[in-house]
Amino acid sequence: TTDVDLVVVGSGFFGLTIAERCAAELGKRVLVIDRRDHIGGNAYSEADPETGIEVHRYGAHLFHTSNPTVWEYVNRFTAFTDYVHKVYTTHGGEVFPLPINLGTINQFFRSAHGPAAARDLVASQASEVDSSNVANLEEKAISLIGRPLYEAFIRDYTAKQWQTSPSELPAEIISRLPVRYTYDNRYFNDAHEGLPVDGYTAWIERMADHPLIEVRLSTDFFDESQPINKTALVGKVPIVYTGPVDRYFDYTRGELAWRTLDFEREVLPIGDYQGTSVMNYADEETPYTRIHEFRHFHPEREHPADKTIIMREYSRFAEREDEPYYPVNTPADREKLLAYRELAKAEAAVYFGGRLGTYQYLDMHMAIGSALSMFENKLKPAFG
Ligand code: FAD
Ligand code: NA
């Protein structure tokens, strides 16, 4: 069927890291397939035709890592800008900085507290609910940050994310709600952060740009009308599979639940819509959760002065045909996942990885780090 040493299903960061390592370090011939018509998985970006501004098609992607191995690896393919991510939120007709920090607290309570006084205030408000005895997400959140901050910044936003009232959501969805008792509103705490200088797609294309790597797009692993499919290949050639694990096993142990996002793009005839890259909308009356304005991710680039592109983001439960974005991860999902892991272990010479193959939310650096580990610990010993 094919004269390659390895087939990789999925050209996201997990699949391409595997392909690049196996080609460049082991000299293996690798065939990468993807059912989409572009490489890069959810990190894919493209220039908007009307404004030329780089748009992240599947939601804003910010690279950050504290892992030195990953940082060294990604720098082989791209340089990074010095972009530092910050997020703001609109509540009650006012804009506040996130994550909740001393600035948020003092603006919200019209106070001038130092760190100790702010801590005392939040602790006394949080004491309304005993954190060891919470029945739902709402009680859990109140036990962590108190009712006023919860109702302003968490309640409606969470309800919009889940289309469910937090009083009906399980407490386990959140383990902590970060509150910073400084004015630092850097979104990420990692040692390294930035955006790829030439964009995500240029980075991703460089990873795939090796004479031993062939990429075939618009090719679905479960489509038996084309030659690179599951029935034809499993057991004949090693496979790294980064698609949904439940789909691989024909949903025999049930469907794993995901949330998806809907994105609505609009080009506006102004040079700057919101003055920042990401604005959350904390209140119920605004149906979307946030607006991305992509020009602000690259202030170092030349952009049109009279046009900007924004993307509104809406969140909901995914149906089977939707793009799966965030694992819902209920206890029932975790049980199904354990059953799928057993099936995956028994599937000879098929390696399951990436966010869909392991039913895990993975940031880009985690997907890359996990692929580097699979390469070192499994693939290299197996056929290196
Ligand atoms: P993916 O990128 O999903 O790639 C999987 C690929 O497999 C896809 O291209 C898919 O088409 C293909 N595939 C699936 N089934 C088949 C099949 N049957 N046949 C062929 N191909 C198939 N990370 C960050 O670090 N920072 C961020 O700011 C950030 N923001 C995010 C925002 C959103 C909305 C989402 C959803 C994710 C975000 N991430 C972010 C995470 C990032 O997208 C992932 O880390 C990355 O996509 C993981 O790569 P992956 O290869 O595991 O999966
Ligand atoms: Na296996």
In tens, the pLDDT along 89-137 reads 999 999 999 999 999 999 999 999 999 999 999 999 999 998 888 999 9
Whether omega for the bond prior to residue 269 falls within 30 degrees of 0, making it cis, is no
Residue ranges covered by each domain of the chain: 6-81+193-251+329-383, 102-173
* Ligand with smallest separation from the Cα of 246: 1
At 33-60, the pLDDT tens digits run 999 999 999 999 999 999 999 999 999 9
Q: What is the CATH number of domain 6-81+193-251+329-383?
A: 3.40.50.720
* Ligand 1 atom at minimal distance to the Cα of residue 365: 25
What is the full per-residue pLDDT of the chain (384 aa) written as tens digits? 468 999 999 999 999 999 999 999 999 999 999 999 999 999 999 999 999 999 999 999 999 999 999 999 999 999 999 999 999 999 999 999 999 999 999 999 999 999 999 999 999 999 999 888 899 999 999 999 999 999 999 999 999 998 889 999 988 888 889 899 999 999 999 999 999 999 999 999 999 999 999 999 999 999 999 999 999 999 999 999 999 999 999 999 999 999 999 999 999 999 999 999 999 999 999 999 999 999 999 999 999 999 999 999 999 999 988 999 999 888 899 999 999 999 999 998 999 999 999 999 999 999 999 999 999 999 999 986
Q: Of all protein residues, whose CA lies closest to atom 35 belonging to ligand 1?
A: 325
Quote the ligand 1 centre to 33 CA distance (angstroms): 14
Q: Whats the size of the chain, residue-wise?
A: 384
Select from 247, 250, 364 the residue to mutate for testing ligand 1; criterion: most ligand atoms less than 8 Å from CB.
364
Select from 37, 42, 80, 241 the residue to mutate for testing ligand 1; criterion: most ligand atoms less than 8 Å from CB.
42
pLDDT recorded at residue 192: 98
Residue 155 has what DSSP assignment? Answer: I
pLDDT recorded at residue 1: 47
Pocket of ligand 1 contains residue 12 by CB under 6 Å: yes
* Ligand 1 atom at minimal distance to the Cα of residue 85: 28
Give CA–CA dist 220/35, Å, rounded. 4
Pocket of ligand 1 contains residue 327 by CB under 6 Å: no
Pocket of ligand 1 contains residue 61 by CB under 6 Å: yes
Select from 248, 355, 359 the residue to mutate for testing ligand 1; criterion: most ligand atoms less than 8 Å from CB.
355
Structure tokens at 265: 């793009």
Give CA–CA dist 15/39, Å, rounded. 10
Quote the ligand 2 centre to 5 CA distance (angstroms): 17
The neighbour count for residue 100, using CB atoms within 10 Å, is: 23
Quote the ligand 1 centre to 259 CA distance (angstroms): 14
HSE-up of residue 183 (Cα within 13 Å, Cβ side) = 6
338-133-121 Cα angle (round to 5):
120
The C-alpha torsion from 59 through 287 and 85 to 263, rounded to 10°, is 10
Quote the ligand 2 centre to 224 CA distance (angstroms): 21
Give CA–CA dist 242/366, Å, rounded. 14
Beta strands in the chain (DSSP E): 6-9, 30-33, 45-47, 54-56, 63-65, 87-91, 94-98, 192-194, 213-216, 239-241, 258-268, 278-281, 290-293, 308-317, 326-327, 350-352
Quote the ligand 2 centre to 350 CA distance (angstroms): 4
* Ligand 1 atom at minimal distance to the Cα of residue 62: 28
Pocket of ligand 1 contains residue 207 by CB under 6 Å: no
Describe the strand order of the beta sheet including 213-216 as a list of residue ranges: 213-216, 30-33, 6-9, 239-241, 350-352
Pocket of ligand 1 contains residue 43 by CB under 6 Å: yes
* Ligand 1 atom at minimal distance to the Cα of residue 357: 52
Q: Which residues are catalytic?
A: 176, 180, 259, 290, 313, 361, 363
pTM (global) more than 0.80: yes
Quote the ligand 2 centre to 194 CA distance (angstroms): 35
* Ligand 1 atom at minimal distance to the Cα of residue 247: 18
Q: Are 287 and 160 in contact (CB under 8 A)?
A: yes
Q: Of all protein residues, whose CA lies closest to atom 14 belonging to ligand 1?
A: 243
- What percent of the chain has a predicted confidence (pLDDT) above 70? 99
Residue located via tokens 């220039």 = 47
Give CA–CA dist 289/266, Å, rounded. 16
Give CA–CA dist 384/369, Å, rounded. 19
